């Protein structure tokens, strides 16, 4: 216990993470890493699993050799997108209610104040790269559906079936066990948001419902970039777009401040412009950790007036231009984690649960 407290104090004193947040050492493929403060260059992802760790290593290869944050973020995001075992992002993502995988992604470059995004993109494994091209090679910000697919094909992306056997079986099981609490319904049913979230508890084997990943990086020049990529809400209505491709909702990057990204129930994140809100909070002097927590509290504050028992499942991550970190979830029994790679190596940063026990 004593050790725990002194570790927390160390982290808070060195990286200003904010109350309750800490860096965890990790043993495994990358070896035991130190608890040293992180600074730039650095790269983080909300994915704290093995794939997230591999993604960080790939992004770090670019950053450590003086590469730019945009390229590092793209490389790392692609590794998570092509993992067939991950049912929340890219290839292998869970499909919509018709059994079709529709992907959303956004990219933002804090140096040039440019952004690109794709929504409802089918048959392309790496939507982050398509979003990056929208950002760099068009004067638009968001392409959707067939337009996004045509754009990707024009740039030489191969069309591929994204529905893995694993995802197809999960989708079929969902269809077989269809309940009255799906996304179709009378107004009184759709008001019952607590019941709607609890619907997922009927499927304990299905891990990701709004699963998404954020990748944020600062390069050695201090330039910041970010990407958010997802297969979106599993079994969503055909055409549903979440927060991930909406600049200001699922992602925002500002070289003068930092970067922020969201995962979780996109509907709340869109309505609250959560990533932009986190950037604004950091601009006002809040740490990344405080900014993540502030944004989650802001969402609950809004719902207090209409549905006081509703605590949607969001997780927010943020970095500032000094390389300080933040990560927080709305609810849960365990503190959320994110992967971090910096000059001291790989570590998992442990954030906070803002409304534990909900
Ligand atoms: N946050 C991902 C989604 O709601 O689609």
| Per-residue pLDDT reduced to its tens digit, 46-55 | 999 999 999 9
Please report which confidence band the pLDDT of residue 306 belongs to, taking 50, 70 and 90 as the band edges: confident
Q: Are residues 327 and 178 in the same domain?
A: no
Average pLDDT over residues 208-218: 88
Confidence (pLDDT) at 242: 97
Distance CA 203, CA 31 (A): 35
Question: Is 174 in the same domain as 218?
Answer: no
Residue of 285, 260, 230 whose CA lies nearest to 89: 230
Residues 193 and 313 in one domain: no
Strand, helix or coil for residue 281: helix
Q: Please check whether residue 5 lies inside any domain of the structure.
A: no
CATH number assigned to the domain comprising residue 217: 3.60.20.30
Report CA(234)–ligand 1 centroid distance (Å). 9
Question: Residue holding tokens 């970039």?
Answer: 225
Q: Tell me if 347 is assigned to some domain.
A: yes
3-state SS string over 99-124? CCCCEEEEEEECCCCEEEEEEEECCC
Mutational pocket test of ligand 1: of 244, 260, 267, 330, the residue with most ligand atoms within 8 Å of the beta carbon? 244
Binning pLDDT at 50, 70 and 90, where does residue 14 land?
very low
Examine the fold and report which residue of 154, 176, 202 is the final residue of a domain before the chain moves on: 202
Assigned domain for 249 exists? yes
Domain that holds residue 59: 12-162+209-353
Percentage of the chain modeled with pLDDT above 90: 69
Do 147 and 43 share a domain, yes or no?
yes
Asked whether residue 114 is domain-assigned, the answer is: yes
For 126-139, write each residue's pLDDT tens digit: 999 999 999 999 99
16 and 127 assigned to the same domain = yes
In a domain? residue 7: no
Give the position, in ligand 1's atom list, of the atom nearest the Cα of 242.
Answer: 5
* Residue 135: partners with Cβ closer than 8 Å, 6 or more residues away: 107, 108, 109, 114, 115, 116, 141
Q: What does the pLDDT average to over 288-295?
A: 98
The C-alpha atoms of residue 51 and residue 167 are separated, in whole angstroms, by 18
pLDDT of residue 175: 74
Co-location of 26 and 81 in the same domain? yes
Final residue in a domain of this structure, among 154, 174, 202: 202
142-144 and 114-121: which strand pairing?
parallel
Beta bridge partners of 177: none
Q: Minimal CA–CA distance to 257: which of 300, 318, 344?
A: 318
Question: How far does residue 358's CA lie from ligand 1's centre (Å)?
Answer: 20
The confidence score (pLDDT) of residue 172 equals 80
Does residue 222 sit in the same domain as residue 330? yes
Rounded Cα–Cα distance for residues 351 and 292 (Å): 9
Task: Give the burial string for 313-322 (b: 16+ CB within 10 Å, else e).
Answer: bbbbbbbbbe
- What's the CA-to-centroid distance between 239 and ligand 1, angstroms? 13
Q: Are residues 38 and 116 in the same domain?
A: yes
Measured from the Cα of 236, ligand 1's closest atom is 5
Q: Is residue 169 in some structural domain?
A: yes
- Residue 177 shares a structural domain with residue 316: no
Q: Is residue 3 part of a domain?
A: no
Verify that 140 and 174 share a domain, yes or no: no
pLDDT digit string, tens, across residues 230-250: 999 988 989 999 999 999 999
Based on the fold, state whether residues 176 and 318 are members of the same structural domain. Answer: no
Domain count, the chain: 2
Share of the chain above pLDDT 70, in %: 80
pTM value is 0.86
| Residue 123 placed within a domain | yes
Q: Is 212 a catalytic residue?
A: yes
Q: Which residues form the pocket of ligand 1, taking CB atoms under 6 Å from any ligand atom?
A: 210, 212, 230, 232-233, 242-244, 263-266
Query: Is residue 184 domain-shared with residue 214, that is, in the same domain?
Result: no
For the segment 317-354, what is each residue's pLDDT rounded down to a tens digit? 999 999 999 999 999 989 999 999 999 999 999 999 99
């Amino acid at each position: 216990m004593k050790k725990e407290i002194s570790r927390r104090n160390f982290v808070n004193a060195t990286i200003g993470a904010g109350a309750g947040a800490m860096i965890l050492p990790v043993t495994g493929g990358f070896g035991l890493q130190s608890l040293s403060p992180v600074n730039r260059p650095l790269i983080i992802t909300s994915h704290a699993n093995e794939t997230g760790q591999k993604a960080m290593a790939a992004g770090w290869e670019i950053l450590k050799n003086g590469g730019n944050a945009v390229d590092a973020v793209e490389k790392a995001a692609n590794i998570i997108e092509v993992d067939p075992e991950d049912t929340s992002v890219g290839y292998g993502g869970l499909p919509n209610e018709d059994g079709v995988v529709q992907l959303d992604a956004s990219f933002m470059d804090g140096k040039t104040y440019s952004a690109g995004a794709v929504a409802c993109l089918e048959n392309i494994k790496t939507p982050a790269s398509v979003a990056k091209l929208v950002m760099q090679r068009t004067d638009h910000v968001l392409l959707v559906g067939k337009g996004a697919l045509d754009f990707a094909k024009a740039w030489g992306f191969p069309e591929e079936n994204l529905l893995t056997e694993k995802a197809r079986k999960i989708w079929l099981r969902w269809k077989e066990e269809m309940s009255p609490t799906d996304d179709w319904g009378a107004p009184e049913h759709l008001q019952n948001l607590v019941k709607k979230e609890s619907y997922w508890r009927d499927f304990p084997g299905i891990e990701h419902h709004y699963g998404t990943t954020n990748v944020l990086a600062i390069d050695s020049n201090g330039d910041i970039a970010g990407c958010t990529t997802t297969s979106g809400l599993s079994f969503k209505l055909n055409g549903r777009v979440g927060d991930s491709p909406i600049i200001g909702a699922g992602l925002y990057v500002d070289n003068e401040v930092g970067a922020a990204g969201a995962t979780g129930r996109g509907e709340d994140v869109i309505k609250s412009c959560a990533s932009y809100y986190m950037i604004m909070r950091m601009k006002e002097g809040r740490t990344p950790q405080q900014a993540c927590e502030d944004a989650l509290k802001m969402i609950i504050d809004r719902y207090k007036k209409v549905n006081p028992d509703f605590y949607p499942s969001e997780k927010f991550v943020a970095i500032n231009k000094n390389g300080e970190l933040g990560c927080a979830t709305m609810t849960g029994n365990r503190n959320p984690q994110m992967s971090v790679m910096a000059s001291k190596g790989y570590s998992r940063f442990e954030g906070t649960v803002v409304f534990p026990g909900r």
